[in-house]
Each structure stands twice: as structure tokens, then as C-alpha cells.
A and B are shown apart, each in its own frame.
Chain A
């Protein structure tokens, strides 16, 4: 059964204040010119409702950049798994691209052996999505990845109408929040019509951003393994790692052990790693599987458009545009796809 509610825009502040009393609420806030980050808020005024995707995706709450995963005592050879779990966290204002990113990670991290730390964090997180009624900027390619519309993965989902937010309940946790708040109303026919109109209008605004159909993307990449395009990207790339660090579906990490000063006990942490880093594919003896930057760029794209399709039947690109937006060398995902498609025709 579909459960829709409306939240008056004038009640948003009350809602955020209520939520933040008992939970940590995080939402996009402004950081410098044209930059946003998910950070803790206690009122609606702190939130950037109209924002382009944040520097880092909300992934950081499911899998922190640097996370303690074990404590050890090397004298008695004891290793204990650790999850430093916080209280409940509400992610507010998660765009549909990032909902897709979270859904992808949920799938990957649930593969046996399950990632326990991820699962524990996930249990404590409530996701409140927010629809984009228009493109955030020219880097996005959410239409071709079919992520411009909500596709589940949320507890509540908000669409901004003229005077209210239309709210869709996506889970029992979402319904609980609605009930607790006591300020959500039932939508009337006019609200539903307004939502329909927005969705219709979006079909006019959002068009496939590349010259390839979604279902053909895998084929284009599979036929591009030897393409010159990679060499060109390799010549431009400086291996700063920005593209993968901001990606909502990258989940590679490095493991580091650090002793305490007593040199007996210590902890093991995992820290986000990047296939673009020089050391990533280096093995004993100093050899590297992907020595040049072009190979590394190709690997990054294949990890979005071919490998996960074979394994999970889903593309790992959400179309959020972060990699293109942040690239030092202005390597652009949409342009790269078009170049590859042009070359394999």
C-alpha cells in the first residue's frame, strides 16, 4: 500500500529540530563556493536544500573514511573485531543518485562473507531522500543511469512541491518517524496532481546525457579494452585519486595496523584506498599490475560499467557526476563514454 504524506514547508524546521533532539541528523550543508558536505544539523536553516552532490557521498556514514575494525594483543595473539557504532543517524536530503549508490553498496557488502562493520552502521541509519526537480549541473548523467527518479532505498522520500513536501514512506522506520513527528498530513488530490506534473516535467528536462543507450553501455566498454581513449586519459590524469574517493560506489580499502606505545596492543584500521594511487596495484618486488595511469583509468571505468554488471547485474555508475566535477585534469565521464562509443561504431 502506498503511503503518502505532506509536510508543510513551514514545518520543515520543526521537523529537523524534533529529529535532532534524539538522533544525529546529517544533511548537505554549504562548504565554500559550489561545494557541499553532509554534516550534522540541528535546524532547517543549516541545510542546503538546493545543492549539487556533496564532495563525499553519504557512503561515509556506512563505511567511514578511516575506521577501526580490530583490536589486538600480539603477546597473547588475540584479535577482537570492533565496530565503533554511533547512535541512530538520520541522513536527510539524499538525492536519488546517492540512494542508488547506497543500494549498490548494500548489495556488495551483503555478499558472504558479509561486511559486519557496514551492516552494523547500516542498521543505525535512517535515509530520507530528496527529489531533484531539475538537473544539479552539467556533470550529472542520472537520466541515462535511470537514477533521476526515486527507485527505493529510502525510509522516507521528499519531493518539493509549491507549499509542501510530498513525502513517501518507504519503510517501517520511515513510518515511525512520521508518526512520532505528528506534523505530517494526508495529501489531497491537488498535491498528488502537483507531484504527477513534476514527474511529467522531469521527463521533458532529463534526457539521456550520452549518445549510448543504457543497455548498450556494457557492450561499449567491453569492446573498448584496447581503445586509444585510455592512453589519452592516462596522459592527462595526475593520479590524485579524487575520482574514486568521491565515488558513491567505490569501496576499496587498505588495512593498517598500528601499535600502542607499549608495543604489545594496538588496533587495525581500514582506510579508503584508490585504484588510481601509485601503490594500489603494487606487489612484492615493486612490480605493479597497473603501472600506467591510462590502465588505472580504464580499470576505474570497467569497475563501473562491465565487472559489476557480470557479478550483480547492475551498473556501478549512479550518474551523480562527482568524478567529472572533481577531476583535476577535467576528465569527463560523459565525454569519455561518447568518445568510446564513437570509436567502437
Chain B
């Protein structure tokens, strides 16, 4: 039996997460020994049958909806990959506006040619088997998820704060430095990648499922940080989470 056939597809995204895979270096050779890549626009152009579909990007047009449904029907396993696919990502910022307004703003006179729908994460449209959160994806986690998918065992995105990993890495707390960091309300799993490199957490992995809203407000008040700042920051990656609240979740919650 040959290796599982893996296809990468992109929807609304910068394709930066696929680039992460292309940039993997030596480890990529090991990964390629375990799978056959049959579709990957960034580095090759073959088309073919596949077992595992890796989806980058969010669903932002009705054409996207049709396309993702077709891919889902064909794939045995579907992996949502990167913030755009798992949380809606930065494309979710569109949902802050009236659709027609934002369409006209972006496409001006040509707006009528560009049909658009509110941004959704992949699991908000079709069932998703595995999620690799993050903008971009954290490669060690991607490899971990890929192995789980190939072995047919579940992978659970951590549902505790980035602070947990950050503390284990003994970083100086960003709040001690007077900065606003989304670590306390963002899902861990990235090994506090940004904070390890002296940057704050932007919440790209999505909010923990049970954030302590009152507690968080207290903390912001104590640090003299207006709540709007944090809301804006949170909405940069997480605006589309509103669909998780409003609608029946179509997919598995990962």
C-alpha cells in the first residue's frame, strides 16, 4: 500500500501557512517520506485523488462553499489549517461591516462582479476532523496533527491559556512590561512562540472556550487598559467566532 495521498487547498488566505510547510527544511523530507503530496499550489501543480485534504483559508464566497463541500465529500480526512481556516482569521474583520459597504469600499466600480458572504471558518461550513490553529501554523504542532491524522487518532487543541506555556518557558510577563497581551484568553499549543520572541500574543489561535470575562475586565482596569483596545485586538483574528455562538456547529469542535 502506498503512502496516504495528501492535498493542500487554499481558500481566502495569504498561503503563508503552506509556505511554512515549504520552509520546513530538513524535516520536510521526513514528512514527504510518510505522505504523497498530490496537490500543493505553492510548490507543484498536479491534480489528483487524495485521502487527506489540508485546507488553508476561510470561506468567504458562495463559490467557496460549493468548493469546500466537494473537497469534503472526496476527502477521508479534512484538516483545517491556519487561523483563516480554523477561526476565520483576519478575513473575519470583514464581518465588522455591512457586506455591500465593504464590497464597494474594496472593489469600487467593479464591486458588482465580486459576490461575497460573511467570512466563516471551515468548521462553520463543513465537518472538520483536525484543526491546526495559528497564524501562521506552528510547525511542530502541524507535524503532530498530521501524524495523528495518518494514524487515525484524535488531536485536541489545548483549551487553556497561552500563559501556561509562556510560564513554563519562564518569559517575563508582557503585562509586567506594560504591554497588552492576549495570552490569558488565547488557546495554547504554540509553545508561546510570539512571547518567546519578545512579541505579545495576538490571539491568532482563537479564544479559549470559557474565557473569564469579568476577571479579564478587572485585570484590564487594573492595568489601565481600555477594553475596546482588547476587543479590537481580539477581533483581528476572532471576529468569525460569532458564528459558533449563533449557529449549530456543523463540524466537530476540536
Residues of A within 8 A of B (CB): 31-35, 37, 54-56, 65-66, 235-242, 245-246, 258-263, 272, 274, 277-279, 293, 326, 328-330
Q: Tell me if B's interface is mostly helix, strand, loop or mixed.
A: helix
Shortest CB-to-CB span from B254 to chain A, Å, is 13
Shortest CB-to-CB span from A37 to chain B, Å, is 5
B216 within 8 A of A: yes
| A258 CA / B143 CA spacing, docked (Å) | 10
B69 within 8 A of A: no
Determine if A235 and B172 form an interchain contact, defined as CB atoms under 8 angstroms apart: no
Q: Which residues of B contact A32 (CB under 8 A)?
A: 172, 176-177
Q: Which residues of B contact A258 (CB under 8 A)?
A: 144, 147
- Residue A55 contacts which of B163, B167, B183, B212 (CB distance < 8 angstroms)? B167
Counting from the closest, the 6 A-B pairs by CB-CB distance are A32-B172, A240-B163, A277-B160, A238-B215, A238-B212, A245-B167
Determine if B160 and A329 form an interchain contact, defined as CB atoms under 8 angstroms apart: no
Determine if A238 and B161 form an interchain contact, defined as CB atoms under 8 angstroms apart: yes
B209 within 8 A of A: yes
Q: Please judge, given known A-B contacts A261-B147, A279-B159, whether A239 and B212 are in contact too, CB under 8 Å.
A: yes
Q: Classify chain B: how many residues form its interface, as a range.
A: 35 or more
A-B contact pairs, 24 of them (CB 8 A): A33-B177, A35-B176, A54-B170, A55-B172, A236-B214, A238-B161, A240-B161, A240-B163, A240-B167, A240-B183, A240-B184, A241-B161, A258-B144, A259-B147, A259-B151, A261-B30, A261-B33, A274-B164, A277-B164, A278-B208, A278-B210, A279-B158, A328-B163, A328-B173
- Residue B209 contacts which of A55, A235, A262, A278 (CB distance < 8 angstroms)? A278
Determine if A263 and B150 form an interchain contact, defined as CB atoms under 8 angstroms apart: yes
Determine if B31 and A261 form an interchain contact, defined as CB atoms under 8 angstroms apart: yes
Question: Which has the most chain A C-beta neighbours within 10 Å: B147, B150, B209?
Answer: B147
Chain B residue with Cβ nearest A56: B170
Determine if A245 and B34 form an interchain contact, defined as CB atoms under 8 angstroms apart: no
Q: Which residues of B contact A328 (CB under 8 A)?
A: 163, 173, 175, 184, 215, 219
B110 within 8 A of A: no
| A108 CA / B170 CA spacing, docked (Å) | 25
| A34 CA / B195 CA spacing, docked (Å) | 17
Chain A residue with Cβ nearest B210: A278
Determine if B34 and A262 form an interchain contact, defined as CB atoms under 8 angstroms apart: yes
Determine if B212 and A237 form an interchain contact, defined as CB atoms under 8 angstroms apart: yes
Chain A residue with Cβ nearest B169: A65
Shortest CB-to-CB span from B22 to chain A, Å, is 18
Shortest CB-to-CB span from A84 to chain B, Å, is 17
B109 within 8 A of A: no
Determine if B173 and A329 form an interchain contact, defined as CB atoms under 8 angstroms apart: no
| A184 CA / B121 CA spacing, docked (Å) | 67
Chain A residue with Cβ nearest B147: A259
Determine if B215 and A235 form an interchain contact, defined as CB atoms under 8 angstroms apart: yes
| A27 CA / B97 CA spacing, docked (Å) | 54
Shortest CB-to-CB span from A58 to chain B, Å, is 12
Determine if B172 and A293 form an interchain contact, defined as CB atoms under 8 angstroms apart: no
Shortest CB-to-CB span from B162 to chain A, Å, is 9
Chain B residue with Cβ nearest A264: B151
Determine if A329 and B31 form an interchain contact, defined as CB atoms under 8 angstroms apart: no
Chain B residue with Cβ nearest A35: B172
Q: Which residues of B contact A278 (CB under 8 A)?
A: 159-160, 208-210
Shortest CB-to-CB span from B170 to chain A, Å, is 4
| A326 CA / B163 CA spacing, docked (Å) | 11
Q: Which residues of A contact B214 (CB under 8 A)?
A: 235-236
- Residue A330 contacts which of B143, B208, B209, B222 (CB distance < 8 angstroms)? B222
Shortest CB-to-CB span from A235 to chain B, Å, is 5
Q: Which residues of A contact B150 (CB under 8 A)?
A: 263
| A235 CA / B217 CA spacing, docked (Å) | 10
- Residue B219 contacts which of A33, A235, A246, A329 (CB distance < 8 angstroms)? A329
B185 within 8 A of A: yes
Chain B residue with Cβ nearest A241: B164
Shortest CB-to-CB span from B130 to chain A, Å, is 14
B242 within 8 A of A: no
